Amino acid sequence: MPQSATAPPHAMTRRTAGQDPLTVAHRGYSAVAPENTLAAVEAGVRAGAEYVEIDARTTADGVPVLMHDSTVDRTTNGSGVVAELDAAYVTGLDAGSWFSPAFAAQRVPTLAQALDVLAESGSGVLLEVKGPQPRAGSRAIVSAVLEHDLADRVLVQSFDERVLRDARELAPELPIGVLRSTMDADPVAAARAFGAVAYNPSAATLRPGAVGELTAAGVSVMPYTVDEPEHWQALADLGVDAIITNRAGEHADWRADRLTRASGVAASPSGAGAR
């Protein structure tokens, strides 16, 4: 079975000695369900992910919804820029048929709906706030987290530095993660500039030496998006704390199998990867 997601979120950003990198379900368990839907969020929880990663944007009328792209075109039956559309339109869209007819009933969820599900789970939330985001939008997203009493269960991350600054000012109690498509020359300084507890780079740009530097500075390293076991192994050897993956169930199974083999007990089949 996958390892249980029960650690408190601040601790969850750091793996313990001898533990493999924690599982972060990218856009939910997006290998088995349409990304950023409640079905994907629920599947990530069932897979045993310590974190379920979701993307939040705000609509024209200021409602935070789950959507990766700036437009709804790729993952729904609608069209248009999220920031220019009303929430009633966005949340009424079919967000599942593009993935499989079996998910035709899935609609674009509000952030509040996703947090309702996650609040009842043992998983933490890796909440990516998509930019550009006006301060009012960041306030609405942060408010949703606080209204769900999830300040100790949510790690807010973004590529947009304004979003990070706004989140820090609006809710200093929320832990921050710095997202990077390429690594900074001094990633420790970049993390400290935002008071971040995590530095989350593209795995393709991860410099091995930087992992040790960040770890020594008390900053977690959570690279994205990695779906192959041989790459999981390489990242585990580097000492990263968590791996953001589309294949959350398979990653959780991989960890459980390694733990079982390390303990000298014959592995038993797990169904997490098939969910």
Which fold is adopted by the domain 9-70+108-263?
Answer: TIM Barrel (3.20.20)
Rounded to whole angstroms, the Cα distance separating 72 from 80 reads: 6
- Residue 234: predicted pLDDT: 97
Whole-number Å distance between alpha carbons of 237 and 250: 18
Three-class secondary structure of residue 12 per DSSP: helix
Give catalytic status of residue 68 as yes or no.
Answer: yes
pLDDT at 261: 85
Encode pLDDT of 60-80 as tens digits. 999 999 999 999 999 999 999
Q: What are phi and psi of 158, to 5 degrees?
A: -165, 150
Of the candidates 68, 148, 231, 251, the residue annotated as catalytic is 68
Instruction: Please give the single-letter amino acid code of residue 130.
Output: K
pLDDT number for residue 196:
97
Q: Hey, what amino acid is at 214?
A: L
Distance between CA 217 and CA 166 in Å, rounded? 24
CA-wise closest residue to 273 among 248, 241, 238:
248
Catalytic entry in 26, 148, 231, 251: 26
10 in active site: no
pLDDT in tens, 92-150: 999 999 999 999 999 999 999 999 999 999 999 999 999 999 999 999 999 999 999 99
Tens digits of residue pLDDT in 166-220: 999 999 999 999 999 999 999 999 999 999 999 999 999 999 899 999 999 999 9
Q: Where are the domains of the chain?
A: 9-70+108-263
Query: Would the CA dihedral through 230, 16, 190, 237 be positive or negative?
Result: negative
With beta carbons less than 8 A apart as the criterion, state whether 189 and 195 touch: no
pTM for this prediction: 0.91
CB atoms within 10 A of CB 100: 12
pLDDT at 159 over 80: yes
